Amino acid sequence: MRSTGAVREFTDEAVADGTVYEILDDARFAPSGGNRQGWRAVVVRDPQVRLGLRDLYLPGWDEYLAMGRAGLVAWAPVTDREAEAEALRDAGAGKRGAFAERLHEVPVLIVLLADLRALAAPDRDLGRYTLTGGASIYPFAWNILLAARDRGLGGVMTTMLTRQEAQVRALLDIPDEYAVAAALALGHPVRRPTKLRRAAVENFTTLDRFDGPEFTA
Ligand SMILES: Cc1cc2nc3c(=O)[nH]c(=O)nc-3n(C[C@H](O)[C@H](O)[C@H](O)COP(=O)(O)O)c2cc1C
């Protein structure tokens, strides 16, 4: 956990299907609400489909960068929508970086889907942004990254393709009952992340009340 950082640069070394299978074979032990295991994975090898996914990634990425430049948390459920609209006028002006431009070239590209009929989502009816359904899918995604790390590989998860879900659905023949949850890129890392920057426990844990004292050892 302390060394599974995001890896976006990969060597040309291929990853065998057997290794991808093993990774998925470990990742499937992820927990899910009611043990429904509502995930589906599509390993994308077809170059045209990969290119299509890259093209669908870029518009969201441009928007993400523009909102970041404006100091916004992109698409935060609670945000200043006017500031967001203003920021989006600048979309496409920034430098995208090699990962986005070359997403179609990553050694392994997996699209992760969620069966909406299989998600126990107790916050579904609260009238606010819902969170708990994804909690049955993303532990599986994280397990993929941990299992890859265990085999000397690296990778990163992206949810950017969900911005273009209808087109992703058409490209991969995904039925309506499935949502696009993420895409994962995996490969042999050019370099390994060593020190991850994360907030200390005291910064996000309190005792008894939200505004209670910091929880310490
Ligand atoms: C839900 C989620 C969505 C993410 N989406 C993207 C993405 O679209 N593009 C990308 O390059 N990285 C993406 N990331 C990777 C994060 O940027 C990365 O986990 C974070 O910056 C921490 O990086 P580090 O582990 O190297 O410290 C995503 C990560 C998560 C968990």
Whether ligand 1 lies within 6 angstroms of the CB of 99 is answered as yes
Identify which of 41, 59, 33 has the alpha carbon closest to the alpha carbon of residue 130. 33
Q: Mean per-residue pLDDT for 84-99?
A: 93
Q: Mean per-residue pLDDT for 9-27?
A: 98
Distance 155 CA to ligand 1 centre (A): 10
Atom of ligand 1 nearest to the CA of 57: 8
Closest residue by Cα to atom 17, ligand 1, is: 6
Atom of ligand 1 nearest to the CA of 156: 15
pLDDT at residue 97, rounded to an integer: 93
* Alpha-carbon torsion angle 175, 180, 186, 191, nearest 10: 170
Ordered structural domains, the chain, with CATH: 17-44+100-204 (3.40.109.10)
pLDDT at residue 7, rounded to an integer: 98
pLDDT at residue 93, rounded to an integer: 86
CA geometry: angle 178, 182, 187, nearest 5 deg: 135
Distance 177 CA to ligand 1 centre (A): 26
Give the orientation angle of helix 81-88 with respect to helix 47-69, to 10 degrees: 120
- AA letter at 150: D
Cβ atoms within 10 Å of 85's Cβ, excluding its own = 9
Q: What is the arrangement of strands in the sheet containing 154-158, beginning at the earlier edge strand?
A: 39-43, 108-115, 178-187, 154-158
Atom of ligand 1 nearest to the CA of 141: 31
Contact between residue 144 and residue 20 where contact means Cβ atoms under 8 Å apart: no
pLDDT at residue 92, rounded to an integer: 87
Distance 213 CA to ligand 1 centre (A): 30
The enclosing H or E element of 62 equals helix 47-69
Closest residue by Cα to atom 6, ligand 1, is: 158
